[in-house]
């Protein structure tokens, strides 16, 4: 039996029945990381000692007959953007290369309370700014399906680790598509919950009104189990939603007969890869065959979403990243004796080119004389984008679209052309601007063997219908069962 091929439900079942120990499962994953990590580069930090200790504790809980969760003893990973007590948290940036937090993020605390075994921290685009995981200060993560291709970003390390069976699941973050787009590129499931559904406390901020944590998994059921563990109100996060958290697995098998699925005409655009469009349209026909009704809808302000996002997100990044000044924590370059020079040199040496680009864009849009023309205007159009979705959901229950306009592109292909890179998230950004939930799941492969993702978006706080729709499609197809040959 290949332990690393088991999904969370299957692995949990074997752990509870004592057919397998968490220590055995953890060692199997650590051995898998040892075999394939050199080719994939999905981790910034691997924590074998901490993982084996957590596995031993999980085995003891099971042996004593204590109440356990479906995650108890299950080896997972987390994006290196979550504060982890005693384990360095870098955000894949030189400026935080040696930062060791004194506390756990709420997401990490909840995973530990659920009994999950954390194997390590996944690579990412620096400060979550990117769509290819080429902006990490430490390494480039490679796509397990084709090692000359990107895994997507910014949660590319998390998506690649799940696809390469280096962990049973991972937790990433999504600011403009950073869970869903890499899920599409790597042929896994990626869920962005409603903004505020999962606590942001201890999650290093990029754009505070957009950032949201969520799972990357092998199946929709696994995503539901992970969301059960990490969702919920948190008094430590002022943007956390105080609303009941349902059991997201409860309605998965109840079908989608009579469900209205909106198809936005603005998401099938000129220039989209024909194999992507073909796979998504076939997926829509499968959904229709399951009893759902396909309804054409319009999201007219979609064309402005990328521009709006890159004003709002960069403005918030400029503000959030001002804290990295060499004084409080992180890198400090202090050779001149001048405070101003120390600030400048620390930030110059600590931040990579993409982070600097976004700080400068954001600072400009917030500056005197330009605030009204850029940031204020973008915020107003963001409201129109949100109203588009509210109007659309009066005619449908969920919305189905492609996740990304192309499959995974080649490493280096878009690095010198930031605007083309930014357009990789053209189908995912609106979801963040509106604060609604969205999921990406595999719906096909190109002739070259590259995964294609189907995106399903739902109403505010209606992850249940999103997951039920995704599960129904997944159950009727075999795409999620494919694994890359490493």
Task: Tell me how far the alpha carbon of residue 398 is from its chain's centroid.
Answer: 20
Q: Tokens at residue 234, please?
A: 């948190």
3-class DSSP assignment, residue 217: strand
Q: Tokens at residue 231, please?
A: 């969702």
Q: For residues 97 and 350, give the distance between their C-alpha atoms in angstroms, rounded to a whole number.
A: 9
Query: How high is the pLDDT of residue 422?
Result: 83
Q: For residues 80 and 114, give the distance between their C-alpha atoms in angstroms, rounded to a whole number.
A: 20
3-class DSSP assignment, residue 189: strand
Query: How high is the pLDDT of residue 424?
Result: 85
Query: How high is the pLDDT of residue 416?
Result: 84
Q: How many domains does the chain have?
A: 1
Q: What's the pTM value of the predicted model, to 2 decimals?
A: 0.97
The angle at the Cα of 453, spanning 383 to 396, to the nearest 5 degrees, equals 45
Q: Tokens at residue 28, please?
A: 């199997």
Q: 214 - beta bridge partners?
A: 172
Query: How high is the pLDDT of residue 330?
Result: 93
Q: Tokens at residue 104, please?
A: 């756990």
Q: Tell which residue, 155, 162, 165, 180, has the closest CA to residue 217.
A: 162
Say if residues 262 and 399 touch (Cβ distance below 8 Å): yes
Q: Is residue 2 situated within a structural domain?
A: no
- Catalytic annotation, residues: 79, 154, 178
Q: What is the CA radius of gyration of the chain?
A: 21
3-class DSSP assignment, residue 13: helix
Q: How far is CA 178 from CA 106, 170, 293, 306, in A?
A: 20, 13, 29, 14
Say if residues 89 and 100 touch (Cβ distance below 8 Å): yes
Compute the half-sphere exposure of residue 259: CA atoms within 13 Å on the CB side of its CA: 29
Q: Is residue 163 situated within a structural domain?
A: yes
Q: For residues 22 and 117, give the distance between their C-alpha atoms in angstroms, rounded to a whole number.
A: 8
Q: Is residue 41 situated within a structural domain?
A: yes
Query: How high is the pLDDT of residue 313?
Result: 97
Q: Is residue 274 situated within a structural domain?
A: yes
Query: How high is the pLDDT of residue 70?
Result: 98
Q: Is residue 386 situated within a structural domain?
A: yes
Say if residues 404 and 276 touch (Cβ distance below 8 Å): yes
Q: Is residue 246 situated within a structural domain?
A: yes
Q: Tell which residue, 272, 305, 269, 286, has the closest CA to residue 452.
A: 272
Query: How high is the pLDDT of residue 419?
Result: 78
What does the mean pLDDT of the chain come to?
Answer: 96
Whether omega for the bond prior to residue 133 falls within 30 degrees of 0, making it cis, is: no
DSSP E strands in 159-318: the ranges are 170-174, 189-192, 212-217, 260-264, 293-297
Q: For residues 329 and 442, give the distance between their C-alpha atoms in angstroms, rounded to a whole number.
A: 41
With left for phi above 0 and alpha for psi between -120 and 50, is residue 337 left, alpha or beta? left
Q: For residues 225 and 211, give the distance between their C-alpha atoms in angstroms, rounded to a whole number.
A: 21
Q: For residues 52 and 59, give the distance between their C-alpha atoms in angstroms, rounded to a whole number.
A: 10
Q: Is residue 256 situated within a structural domain?
A: yes
Q: Determine the structural domain holding residue 284 and report its residue range.
A: 7-486
Compute the half-sphere exposure of residue 63: CA atoms within 13 Å on the CB side of its CA: 10
Instruction: List, run by run, the mean pLDDT of 10-residue segments along the chain (486 residues).
Output: 95 97 98 98 98 98 95 98 98 98 98 98 98 97 98 98 98 98 98 98 98 98 98 98 97 96 93 95 98 98 96 97 93 85 93 97 93 94 98 98 97 87 91 98 98 98 98 98 94
With left for phi above 0 and alpha for psi between -120 and 50, is residue 73 left, alpha or beta? left
For 90, phi and psi rounded to 5 degrees? Answer: -105, -20
H helical segments located in 69-195: 106-113, 156-163, 180-186
With left for phi above 0 and alpha for psi between -120 and 50, is residue 165 left, alpha or beta? left
For position 471, which CATH number holds? 3.90.1300.10
Q: Is residue 100 situated within a structural domain?
A: yes
3-class DSSP assignment, residue 120: strand
């Amino acid at each position: 039996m290949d332990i690393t091929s088991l999904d969370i439900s299957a692995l949990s079942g074997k752990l509870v029945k004592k057919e397998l120990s968490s220590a055995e499962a953890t060692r199997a994953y650590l051995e898998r990381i040892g075999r394939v990590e050199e080719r994939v580069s999905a981790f910034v930090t691997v924590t074998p000692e901490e993982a084996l200790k957590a596995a031993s504790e999980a085995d003891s809980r099971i042996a004593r007959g204590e109440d356990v969760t479906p995650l108890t003893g299950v080896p997972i990973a987390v994006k290196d953007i979550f504060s982890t007590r005693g384990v360095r948290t870098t955000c894949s940036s030189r400026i935080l290369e040696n930062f060791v937090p004194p506390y756990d993020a709420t997401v990490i605390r909840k995973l530990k309370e659920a009994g999950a075994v954390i194997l390590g921290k996944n690579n990412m685009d620096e400060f979550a700014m990117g769509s290819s995981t080429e902006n990490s200060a430490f390494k480039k993560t490679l796509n397990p399906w084709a090692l000359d291709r990107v895994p997507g970003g910014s949660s590319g390390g998390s998506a690649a680790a799940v696809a390469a069976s280096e962990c049973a699941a991972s937790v990433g973050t999504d600011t403009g598509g950073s869970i869903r787009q890499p899920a599409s590129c790597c042929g896994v499931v990626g869920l962005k919950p409603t903004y505020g559904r999962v606590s942001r406390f201890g999650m290093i901020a990029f754009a505070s009104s957009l950032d949201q944590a969520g799972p990357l998994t092998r199946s929709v059921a696994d995503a539901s189990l992970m969301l059960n563990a990490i969702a919920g109100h948190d008094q430590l996060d002022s943007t956390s939603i105080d609303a009941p958290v349902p059991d997201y697995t409860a309605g998965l098998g109840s079908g989608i007969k009579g469900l209205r699925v909106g198809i936005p005409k603005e998401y099938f655009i000129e220039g989209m890869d024909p194999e992507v469009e073909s796979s998504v349209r076939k997926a829509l026909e499968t959904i229709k065959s399951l009893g759902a009704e396909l309804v054409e809808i319009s999201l007219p302000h979609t064309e402005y979403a990328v521009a709006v996002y890159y004003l709002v997100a960069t403005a918030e990044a400029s503000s959030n990243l001002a804290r990295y000044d060499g004084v409080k924590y992180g890198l400090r370059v202090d050779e001149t004796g001048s405070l101003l020079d120390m600030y400048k040199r620390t930030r110059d040496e600590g931040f990579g080119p993409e982070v600097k680009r976004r700080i400068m864009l954001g600072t400009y849009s917030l500056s005197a004389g330009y605030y009204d023309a850029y940031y204020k205007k973008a915020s107003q159009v963001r409201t129109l984008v949100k109203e588009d979705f509210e109007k659309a959901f009066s005619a449908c229950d969920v919305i189905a679209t492609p996740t990304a306009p192309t499959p995974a592109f080649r490493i280096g292909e878009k690095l010198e052309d930031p605007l083309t890179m930014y357009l990789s998230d053209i189908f995912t950004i609106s979801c963040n601007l509106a604060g609604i939930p969205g999921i990406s799941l595999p719906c096909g492969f190109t002739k070259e063997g590259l995964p294609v993702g189907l995106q399903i978006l739902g109403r505010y706080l209606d992850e249940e219908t999103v997951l039920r729709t995704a599960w129904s499609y997944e159950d009727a197809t075999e795409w999620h069962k494919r694994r890359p040959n490493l």
